[in-house]
Structure 1
């Protein structure tokens, strides 16, 4: 794996501290109306495990899986991850599949559209997003851009064999984090994401 050429070549203690503070954010986790599980090829198993744990802990009653990219099996992400949820005990009747989205913005936009079509959008006042820890802030900022009024929480998934605190020690993890770090400002400028509102996104300092 190689990082993008425009990313910092050296991880200084100052840069690591800033990334930990700004990018790898944590939020309060409390009972929510919906788990929004972002689809993935590379970290699907870790993400599914987090969503299943939220279900088992009684923190969510519905899981919406969003992802339209095809996996190696030929299925779209949403369907494959939905099957994994069912296999681990989440009732099929409590899973919603959104199988069109091909990026994070579409994950949110198409999920909102689907909830409206199903007539349950107005019942969703709070969401726990589940996705890779390296993109923690970007998920929340994307929700802020396209679904600002909802209470936003995050349960991140870590597919790597090291803790989140040790991300600089794992080359693949570090590369993924730096890649995400390099996206935030360009995405803000383009309008793909929006800075977080502390009233609807309870960040833990």
Structure 2
């Protein structure tokens, strides 16, 4: 498989350790007001499973699904994933659909706007983000950019048939991780993301 990055770096033990520490970030998970489920075509099933488990475990009050890209079903990501959540026993009344976002920044900004329209924005103090494990840091760095005041946690979804620790051994997984690794500095420079604040993002070392 060819990585999206033109010249992926050589995977030395030192680089793998740095990626594991910085990019594949873990946070504590505690009861939150909202699960922000980032829409996806390619890893929707894995993401839905994680969000549904958070609900079943009583860890979230609501699930907001954000994704405006259309899938092969003819519906946008948010509708498809919302239906999948209902099939996993998440009550429809506790699911909010945001159907405009086309990128991660819009996922956050449009979700915030929708919560304000619904009159529940001020009640959200803790957020658990759900998205692909390879982009764990980028999700919460995007939240830090646009919604710095909330406590931010990440419950990553892994669609691959290997553990997260074994990502260097799986070609597609490794390409995805390296693609994400290459995004962080340009996104920081462009102002799309902000570095994390330890007070609002409880990272596990």
Same fold (TM over 0.5): yes
- Within 2, Cα distance between the matches of 1:63 and 1:35? 5
Cα RMSD of the aligned pairs, angstroms, is 0.5
Runs ≥4 residues deviating over 3 A: none
Tell me if 1:122 matches 2:122.
yes
The CA deviation string for residues 142-193 of structure 1, in whole angstroms up to 9 with x for no partner, is 0000000000000000000000000000000000000000000000000000
The number of aligned residues is 204
Q: Find the residue that maps to 1:49 and give its secondary structure.
A: helix
The CA deviation string for residues 22-58 of structure 1, in whole angstroms up to 9 with x for no partner, is 0000000000000000000000000000000000000
- Structure 2 equivalent of residue 5 of structure 1: 6
Taking structure 2 as the reference length, the TM-score comes to: 0.99
The CA deviation string for residues 83-112 of structure 1, in whole angstroms up to 9 with x for no partner, is 000011000000000000000000000000
- Structure 2 equivalent of residue 178 of structure 1: 178
* Displacement after TM superposition at 1:6 (Å): 3.6
Q: Find the residue that maps to 1:63 and give its secondary structure.
A: strand
Gaps of at least 5 residues in structure 2 are none
Gaps of at least 5 residues in structure 1 are none
* Displacement after TM superposition at 1:61 (Å): 1.4
- Structure 1 equivalent of residue 131 of structure 2: 131
Q: Find the residue that maps to 1:89 and give its secondary structure.
A: coil
Taking structure 1 as the reference length, the TM-score comes to: 0.99
- Structure 1 equivalent of residue 99 of structure 2: 99
- Within 1, Cα distance between the matches of 2:196 and 2:2? 30
* Displacement after TM superposition at 1:72 (Å): 1.1
- Within 1, Cα distance between the matches of 2:13 and 2:28? 27
